[in-house]
Amino acid sequence: MDGLKLHDLRCFDAVAAQGSFQAAAKALHRTHPSVFAAIARLEEQLGLKLLDRSGYRVSLTDEGRLLHARAQLAIRELEHLRTYADQLASGEETVLRVVLGDVCPRPGILSLLSRFFAERPRTRLHLDYEAISGPVERLMDGEADLVFHRANPSDPHLERIDLRVVPFVPVVAPGFLPFETGADVTPEAMRRFTQCVIRDTARRPSSENFFVIDGAHSCSVPDHMMKKELIL
């Protein structure tokens, strides 16, 4: 089986699909004799009769049917390998690892990603979610290529682009507080109530927080959607 050629396998696949050497040659933009020679060479190398030529249309033998299924897999794998090599040679990313952070406005960012990958069908998206300091940790540890999250503008290790401003607003469910709410509500007044906070997914959590009241009872959730459902 040494020296099997991709060309011969393609010819075999085309004949099996088209039912004749002439139709296969036309589909492959080859001459009839070259396709016939490719099949003969393949049968000789394998020591198998792959095609039954006794009828009006060429058909697969039992051995040919079994081999054809494997040949199709091999052809697809080689095509993927060739595409992968072309991407590497051109500098095009084969996989882009993207992490969405907990404060990322998903509809807008997902729409942006959809347009980006629609123009790059050979690049596969690996999308993940992290919270608090998790996105930047994944980036710094080499586990992500791009994150959509807040970042320290003074960090020299990060390249960043400002996309939009996301306001942070402490909220409560209507009627939850036993007193009137207003601008004069202080952290001390809220300390006796349970605060819902998002868990940091980082392996090395940061001490940074937003509006977390020290000493207050708290419950933790994985994301803002869960937080909203729990609060309401």
**pLDDT (tens digit per residue) in 166-210:** 888 888 888 888 887 776 788 888 889 999 999 999 999 888 777
58 within 8 A of 52, measured Cβ to Cβ: yes
Lowest mean pLDDT among 19-23, 35-39, 87-91, 115-119: 87-91
Number of H helices, E strands in the chain: 8, 7
Instruction: Quickly state the pLDDT bin for 1 (edges 50, 70, 90).
Output: low
Q: Is 31's pLDDT higher than 60?
A: yes
pTM: 0.61
Rounded distance, CA 228 to CA 205, Å? 23
Q: Is 131's pLDDT higher than 80?
A: yes
pLDDT digits (tens, 9 = 90+) for 95-124: 899 999 998 988 999 999 999 999 888 888
Identify the pLDDT of residue 39: 92
Instruction: Quickly state the pLDDT bin for 214 (edges 50, 70, 90).
Output: confident
% of the chain exceeding 70 in pLDDT:
99
Q: Is 129's pLDDT higher than 80?
A: yes
Q: Is 81's pLDDT higher than 80?
A: yes
- 69 Cβ contact list (under 8 Å, min separation 6): none
Rounded distance, CA 55 to CA 37, Å? 19
Q: Is 53's pLDDT higher than 90?
A: no
Mean pLDDT of the chain: 89
Identify the pLDDT of residue 211: 82
Rounded distance, CA 147 to CA 143, Å? 10
Question: Exposed/middle/buried for 123, CB within 10 Å: 0-12, 13-18, 19+?
Answer: middle
Lowest mean pLDDT among 31-35, 58-62, 187-191: 187-191
% of the chain exceeding 90 in pLDDT:
51
Q: Is the dihedral of CA 210, 215, 217, 219 positive or negative?
A: positive
Q: Is 55's pLDDT higher than 90?
A: no
Q: For the residues 209-213, what does the mean pLDDT come to?
A: 83
